[in-house]
Structure 1
Amino acid sequence: MWIHFFVFLLTFCFMEFMAWFSHKYIMHGFLWSLHEDHHHKTHNSWFEQNDAFFVIYAIISITFFLLWKYDFLEIGLAIGLGILAYGITYFIVHDIFIHQRFKLFRNTNNRYARAVRRAHKMHHKHLGKEHGECFGMLLVPWKYFKKP
């Protein structure tokens, strides 16, 4: 039981690295064509091509659920839930809190929240795929915690 909880937490934490890595080297790399509309807002829909990345990670999470269900990987459930929990957290922080796709958490104004918003604003300052910064989501560089 404890090993499953530990694997869940480890997976959740590892997903911050995966978010950073895939954002920097995949979204701003060879799959820029899917991510570009997130930086340029050239679409007329509530959905973005960038949302395909949620689907990709959902498929990975579901794969681990299936590996567990069919007795191929005992910790598959913990890994799948860790990925799912990070995905939900990412959606709440990135899409709801930062980009206000739903009008919630508008008045959140603590030090961490301001740092997350500042870091993400710096990321979106760069409209192209080059010269980006702040590719992670939950771990924010210390300089964004300081008052401007």
Structure 2
Amino acid sequence: MFLATVIGMEGFAYAAHRWIMHGPGWFLHASHHTKREGNWELNDLYAAIFAVPSFVLLLGGVQLGWWPGFAWIGAGIAAYGAIYFGFHDIIVHQRIPTRYLPKSSYMKRIVQAHRLHHVVETREGNVSFGFLVAPRPEALKAELKRRGRQGVRAPAGEPLAEK
């Protein structure tokens, strides 16, 4: 049940990222697509929001006499959150400095896919919404090109080239 929850959370995270964070929740998530000032951004509130079900399920399954499976589901949600934090905040965005360099083709692929997600500063036109499963970077680049580079930020000091 624990492993099934961790795996299932990738699907939940994809859907939440694509249709909530880049939808009605953009007012929080927009801070994540712009340069951060300081250590925190409004988007960090999503970590607290998504921790609530994990906490409630763990509490209910361990302390309140609910079905014990709820504790395993809550633990799976928490584990996915820890994996997400390690991948997203430490490895990709380096919010905690590290000398880690991705060497495996899998790690290189998910880091590049997430970086391609971040070249788009707007709510629409993004690619790659997953965190642990990502399309090939070549496919993502082709999709950005097909969309006319809508919302793609220009390289530092350069205006975005017209189509």
Which TM-score band applies after superposition, normalised by the shorter structure? 0.7 to 0.9
What is the percentage of aligned positions where both structures have the same residue? 35
Give the TM-score taking structure 1 as reference length: 0.88
Matched, 1:46 2:53: no
CA distance in 1, matches of 2:34, 2:101: 26
Q: Which of the residues 106, 117, 128 maps onto 2:111?
A: 117
Give the TM-score taking structure 2 as reference length: 0.80
Q: What does residue 3 of structure 1 align with?
A: none
Structure label with greater radius of gyration:
2
Amino acid aligned to 1:58: A
Give a deviation string over 1:6-39, Cα, whole Å, max 9, x none.
Answer: x101100110011101000110000101000100
**Stretches of 4+ aligned residues off by more than 6 angstroms:** none
Q: Which of the residues 53, 60, 66 maps onto 2:53?
A: 60
- The answer to whether the 8 Å contact 1:114/1:145 transfers is no
CA distance in 1, matches of 2:25, 2:125: 16
Q: What does residue 66 of structure 2 align with?
A: 72
Q: Which of the residues 82, 93, 115 maps onto 1:88?
A: 82
Question: How has the CA–CA distance of structure 1 residues 145 and 102 changed in structure 2, closer, same or farther, with 3 Å as cutoff?
Answer: farther
Q: What does residue 140 of structure 1 align with?
A: 134
Tell me the number of residue pairs that the alignment of Structure 1 and Structure 2 aligns. Answer: 139
CA distance in 2, matches of 1:73, 1:81: 14
Amino acid aligned to 1:45: G
Q: What does residue 34 of structure 1 align with?
A: 28
CA distance in 1, matches of 2:84, 2:76: 12
Determine which structure has the larger helix proportion and give its number. 1
Q: Runs of 5+ in structure 1 lacking a partner?
A: 1-6
Counterpart secondary structure, 2:23: helix
